[in-house]
Structures are given as structure tokens and as C-alpha cells.
Structure 1
Amino acid sequence: MIKKDIIGEFDEKEGVFLSLESMTKSLLEALISSEKLQIHSITSRTKQRESLLGKIKRPNKSYDRLLDITDIVGFRITTYFSEDVDVIARIIEKEFSIDPDNSIDKRKALEPDRFGYMSLHLVCEHKNARLKLPEYKQYKSIKFEVQIRSILQHAWAEIEHDIGYKSTNEVPDLLKRRFSRLAGLLELADEEFQSIKDGIKNYRSSLPEQLGSAPDDVTLDLESLTYFVNTDPSITKLEEEMLKYFKYPVLNNAQQASVSNSLEFLNRQGIQTVGELILKYKEVEQYIVPFLKVWLSKDHSSESLSRGISLLYLTYINLATHGDQDHSEFVLKAAPFMNVSDLVEEINEAWLKI
């Protein structure tokens, strides 16, 4: 009779659960976005009637009422890095009430072949302060589950589920070692991705000191070039002067995507270090604004400008003064320019007019 009552109550409140899923997913997305975190995905689901019936029929489960079931509504947050699982968890623990008795940190499993279960499951409900809001008051006392795992943990769990083995005992003996090796490889990969992320962060932190003391020793890469064009006072002064001649004088911080082409240009010109780039700037700096005036008079314009725009004109001038046709085309093909040969001709013509 209890099972029938539970299903009957679910039928009455299914719309509330679906609303809870939608509202809470939007809230989770907003909370994570406000922390400037990049994650792979947030997915959600509300149990269907048949799934709920199967759950309450299990012999090892006993429920007196519908609200005793804590995962009718569930969310899965998949992060790129294992460290972000804990960051997300702290956000959730701050914003929601946690049910510690029904929450579980499956990452603490020690068996090497349990990698797929190394996720954090938090059973939550909305706090009283939020439940006072009209749009949330209908969710009082309704619990939901949030699973948080890295993308590699998620991949292992999905593949393991597809294969069909839920425990080590179910795996044929001849495959157990291979399962264990693969689980270890994925766990190591998870740790290495996190280590790489930390290494990039540490490298970024070291750039101010390295560029200040020994720019000749700093190889041009996406990180060093982005930092250099965003912070070098000489480039800032030059590009602020350049802005006067553009139709849309808004100078944003350089983003890595916009710096990528410039990096390839510089490498193809044999400029490999920040020190070499500084010398090249000193060589052509006086010509950049005059060249820009001529160039823009030919109806070349840009609606969106970012720091590092001078790198493009440095390249143009360097090619006009040092490159032959073949070399210039080789350099400019690093970007998706159309009619590279025509572009080289325009660059040379503009150079002759300054």
C-alpha cells in the first residue's frame, strides 16, 4: 500500500519535481558562472514513473513516503579537472543545505579498479532563505542529488556501465588485470591534466619576474606573448596612439585567440624570444603609425581592437623591408587571409608611400 501511495503522490507532484529540476539547474549554472569556472557540462533529470516504481520495489530499499527518496531530481556536473570537483562542492555547500547522512564521497574508494565511482554525491535541498521566495516555496522539504566528477571519471563510469560490470567480482579473471591497468591509466591522466593546469598557472605567475630580468631567455609562446602585449608600457603607449586612427577606438586586453596568429607570424619571421621581439619593436616602432595611416586610407578597418594589434603592423613592415614575395606569402599564410599574394602587394605599396 505504501508503494501505491508513493506513486500516487509522485503523479500529483511530478510537475513540481520537473519545475525544481529546471529552476535548480539554472541556479547551478548561474552560481558556477559567477565564480568564473569553466566546466564541461551540467545535466539533469527527473525520474520517470517507471524508474521510480522500480526503485521502491527493490528489496534493499524501504521508503515510507515520497520525500524519503532523495534522488527523484538529479544533477550531474562534469568538470575538466579533478581539483574543480572540490571547488564546485564548496559552492554547493555554501548555497544549499546538505544532507550528510545520504551524501557520499565515492572518491575515497581505494580499489584501483573503482575509478569510475570516484565522484562526489551531495544530497541537497534549498535553504530556508531561498524557500521564502515565491518561485521557490513549492520546493520545501524536497531533496535532490548533485553528482560531481571530472570528465575522465565520467568517461570511465560511462564505459564501465556500457560494458555492464558493476564490481570487480563480475569481471572475468582474464580481464581483471586489464581493467585495473586501464583504471590506473585514467586516474594518472586525471592527475596529469591537473598538474599541467597547475604548471600553466605557475608559469603565468613567473612571467613578470622573468620578463623583467631576462627577456632574452623567455621563449615566445601564447602565455608569454599575451602577457607581454598586455603589460609592456611601450606597446601600450604605441597602441594608444594607433587608436586615434581607427573608427572604433576601443582597446581590449589581448586574448589568447587573437594572439595566436601573431605568434605564428613572429615564429615564421624567426623571432623566437621576447627579447628578440623587443629589439624588432625598437627597429620598426617609428614606422608603425605612419604605415597605419596609409593602410587605413585604403579602407582597411577593424571594429574590434585588442592589445597586440601593433604586432600585425610590425609584421607588415618587417615583411616590406626584409621579405621577398615567397617569404612574405609563407609568413602571411599562418592566418586565414584570402589572396595572400594581393595582400603582399598592398603591404609593399603602403610601405612605399610613407
Structure 2
Amino acid sequence: MKAIKAELIRFMMSYKFALSEISTKIDILKQEFQYIHEYNPFEHVNSRMKTLESIINKAKRKGSDFSLKSIKENIRDIAGVRIICSFVSDIYVISEMLEKQKDIHVIESKDYIQNPKPNGYQSLHLIVQIPVFMSDREEHVCVEIQIRTIAMDFWASLEHKIYYKYNKEIPKTMRDELKEAAITAAQLDAKMEKINQEVNKIKETDTEDELRDLMGNNERLPLPYEIME
């Protein structure tokens, strides 16, 4: 029993360490992006781990046995990270940045933004595998990453609460209203994306005008090496 307990603790710790690795990578990307672009696409970042009870219940639903090997192969969302963005375009920028990390291997990608679930749910889901270096072994651990906008997260959080309040049996009229609310949230995201694009165009124009004013309206903009001189 002592050996089984120790192995179980090590199993759960590997997911905890994987979350730490992913969180560190996200924090580095967030700070670098802010420094270079003077803009932060990350609004909020949350992480969580399934409890042992939740893992066992999911193993039952999937028809999996309870060996650690089987659980690791069949349940790939034991560790999870949720990234909340301001705009839909941010979702794909963040996804691309993560996928370019050499030690992150994307196993599965599900785009529920381009293809929403029937109930209206939208989000981008990535299942990634990341190496975790223990004292005597190297573990390759799966982490689920969900990337969504504030509007998508607001809808999903309320839908989740209603879903469990009604013991997973939501009345049809309420399901229809939730679907309509999801469409409204998507329309809001689209409108805010358009406004953001217009703001960016104005900023680019203003920057170019400021540079021309500095150099004189009739002069061309200097090349980088000319500025250095």
C-alpha cells in the first residue's frame, strides 16, 4: 500500500509540475509580448487539476480501467489551463505562440469557434504534451489548454452553473435561450474585433504622421541604420 500511495503521489505531482511549466511559459510570452508590442493579449490565466474522485468518475464513464497507465493514456485533461483574451484574433495569436515552443507538442486541437458546439459553446481547445524532468525519470505529461474571449468565458461559466443547477436536465426553452445568448456573445466579439482593427489602423496612421512631422513633410523616412548614424 505504501508503494502504491507513493506512485499515486508522484503521478499527481507530474501534472502539478506540468502546470507550473506551462504557466511559466505563458508568463514569459505575456511579458515579452507586452514589451515588444506594448499590448497584452492575455486578460486572465487560470489553472486547475482534477481531483482523484473526478479522475476516477471520468475513467468509469470512458470505460477505462483504474491503472495509472490507462488513466494517463485515456484522460488527457487532468491538468488544465484556461486563457482569457479580449479579442478573437488574440486566441489564434496565443495558440500560434504556444505551438511554436520547441518542447510543447500539440496532440489535438479542437476549434469550437469556427465550429461551435450544438449548445452554442465556443472556445479553442488544445491538448499539449510537455516534458517534466523528475529526479529519476522524464515524464511526458498532457495538459489541456482552453483559449477563449471574455464573452465566451462569461457565457460558458453561466451555462455550466445552470447545467448543474438543473442536474444536467435543462428545459428546452432555457436551452434555446442559452443558444440565443451564445449567438449574441459571438456577435459582440465580432463587433469588438472590428472596433479593435479600426483603432489599430488609426494608431498606425498616427505613428506614420508623427514620424513624418519629425523629419519634415517633404523628407522620406530614414532607414534604421541612418537613425543610428
- Which TM class, normalised by the smaller chain length? 0.7 to 0.9
Distance 1:176 1:189 in 2: 20
1:164 aligned onto 2:145: no
Q: Which amino acid aligns with 1:23?
A: E
Distance 2:198 2:135 in 1: 42
Q: How does 1:22-61 map to 2 (within 5 A)?
A: 22-36=20-34, 37-58=40-61, 60-61=62-63
1:65 aligned onto 2:89: no
8 Å Cα contact 1:107-1:119 kept in structure 2: yes
1:18 equivalent among 10, 16, 19: 16
8 Å Cα contact 2:123-2:147 kept in structure 1: yes
Describe the superposition over 1:31-67 as per-residue Cα deviations: whole angstroms up to 9, x where unpaired.
Answer: 2332333311111112222221221122x34255232
Q: How does 1:322-337 map to 2 (within 5 A)?
A: none
1:94 equivalent among 90, 100, 114: 100
What does residue 123 of structure 1 align with? 127
Describe the superposition over 1:97-137 as per-residue Cα deviations: whole angstroms up to 9, x where unpaired.
Answer: 1113xx322223356741xx21111111126xxx6xx6798
8 Å Cα contact 2:126-2:144 kept in structure 1: yes
What does residue 155 of structure 1 align with? 154
Task: Calculate the aligned-residue CA RMSD, in Å.
Answer: 3.2
Distance 1:91 1:123 in 2: 15
2:83 equivalent among 62, 65, 77: 77
Distance 1:137 1:87 in 2: 36
Q: 1:170 to 1:51 in 2, by over 3 A?
A: closer
Stretches of structure 2 that go unaligned for 5 or more consecutive residues are 35-39, 216-229
Q: How does 1:303-322 map to 2 (within 5 A)?
A: none
Describe the superposition over 1:311-338 as per-residue Cα deviations: whole angstroms up to 9, x where unpaired.
Answer: xxxxxxxxxxxxxxxxxxxxxxxxxxxx
Distance 2:136 2:124 in 1: 27
What does residue 179 of structure 1 align with? 178
Distance 1:113 1:40 in 2: 25
8 Å Cα contact 1:76-1:148 kept in structure 2: yes
Greater Rg over alpha carbons, structure: 1
TM-score scaled to structure 2, two decimals?
Answer: 0.73
Q: Which has the higher strand share?
A: 2
Q: How does 1:114-263 map to 2 (within 5 A)?
A: 114=120, 117-126=121-130, 140-164=139-163, 170-207=169-206, 232-233=213-214
Secondary structure of 1:174 counterpart: helix
Q: Which has the higher helix share?
A: 1
**Identity within the alignment, %:** 26
Q: Which amino acid aligns with 2:51?
A: Q
Distance 1:12 1:233 in 2: 61
Stretches of structure 1 that go unaligned for 5 or more consecutive residues are 1-5, 212-227, 235-354
Distance 1:231 1:139 in 2: 56
